[in-house]
Amino acid sequence: MLRDLLLGLFGLAMGCGMLYGVLRPAPAIWRGDESRIPILPWRQTGQTYLAFLLWTVPVSIALAVFGADILFYAFTENKEAAAAIAKPAVGLALLGTPFILVNVFVEVFKRPRCLMPPPYRSRAK
């Protein structure tokens, strides 16, 4: 029970924290302020930040829902209801993962320009 509570709280906190961390600077990056790009373990530029959000947001939401689902199970111990909550989270995580390829494509080819913030569209070659 305690392990489930801690795991659920950790998942919920991680998902919500990731979501806040990547969405909070998005308006400033959309306006062209590259200094607001979060520090990440990989290289991320203002040109590709929207494509980065396309896969990061669904995966972060799925992580938060998984954490909430584990907390729900820890309090109710209803496996059927917990499984019903987990299915949309799995679908959301699977929906977000193909957008990793979109992020890589935009990073490498700087296309399509509609996935770049307006200040960076003219810089794409």
Residues 12-30 have pLDDT tens digits of: 999 999 999 999 999 999 9
Q: What is the 3-state secondary structure (H, E, C) of the chain?
A: CHHHHHHHHHHHHHHHHHHHHHHCCHHHHHCCCHHHCCCCCCCCCCCCHHHHHHHHHHHHHHHHHHHHHHHHHHHHCCHHHHHHHHHHHHHHHHHHCCHHHHHHHHHHHCCCHHHCCHHHHCCCC
Indicate if the pLDDT at residue 89 is higher than 70. yes
Structure tokens, 97: 């993962």
pLDDT of residue 63: 96
- Threshold 0.85, pTM exceeds: yes
Indicate if the pLDDT at residue 42 is higher than 90. no
Contact status, residue 61 vs residue 14, Cβ threshold 8 Å:
no
- 122 CA to centre of own chain: 27
Residues 60-88 have pLDDT tens digits of: 999 999 999 999 999 999 999 999 999 99
